Amino acid sequence: MISTLPAVRAEIAEALAAVDGLYVYDVLPTAPELPCAVVRWPELLTYTETLAGHASLTFRIGLYCSSADDAAGQGQLAGFVTSIPAALAAHTTTTYRALNIVSASDFRTEKVGEATAYAFDITTTLLA
């Protein structure tokens, strides 16, 4: 792996920070502010994909919006699901490359800190 895992997660978080109104965390927070995106640990890390030593990584980015108001929370979540791919694609970096936004899945309600949130995951792959 060329870049460190914390550096990759921080860089993805920086890309997500371009989305208006979204709190971003590159480590799992105990009491996050909502709405937020959390760059989780990679779901899969495959070592040595190139002669230079790049790894391929699959990340699930968790999106969380307050469920205090059903319509508002789900509407906000839908907005982020729509806008985040463009923010990730527009971000330029040398920390990773070949970022591909694969899918969004697993809509659910989840306890986040003291609050309950609507949650959705965006899956990306990249080389780093």
Q: Which is nearer to other proteins, 30 or 94 (CB)?
A: 94
Position 98 contacts other proteins (CB under 8 A):
yes
Nearest distance from C-beta of residue 103 to other proteins, angstroms: 9
Position 85 contacts other proteins (CB under 8 A):
no
φ, ψ (nearest 5 deg) of residue 17 = -65, -15
Q: Is residue 34 within 8 Å of 103, Cβ to Cβ?
A: no
Applying the rule CB under 8 A, the residues between 48 and 67 that interact with other proteins are: 48-54
Interface mask (CB under 8 A) for other proteins, residues 10-49, using x and -? Answer: --------------------------------------xx
Nearest distance from C-beta of residue 109 to other proteins, angstroms: 29
Nearest distance from C-beta of residue 125 to other proteins, angstroms: 8
End-to-end CA distance of the chain: 6
Find the helix packing angle between 70-90 and 5-16, rounded to 10°.
Answer: 120
Beta-carbon contacts of 26 under 8 Å, excluding residues fewer than 6 positions away, are 6, 9, 10, 12, 13, 39
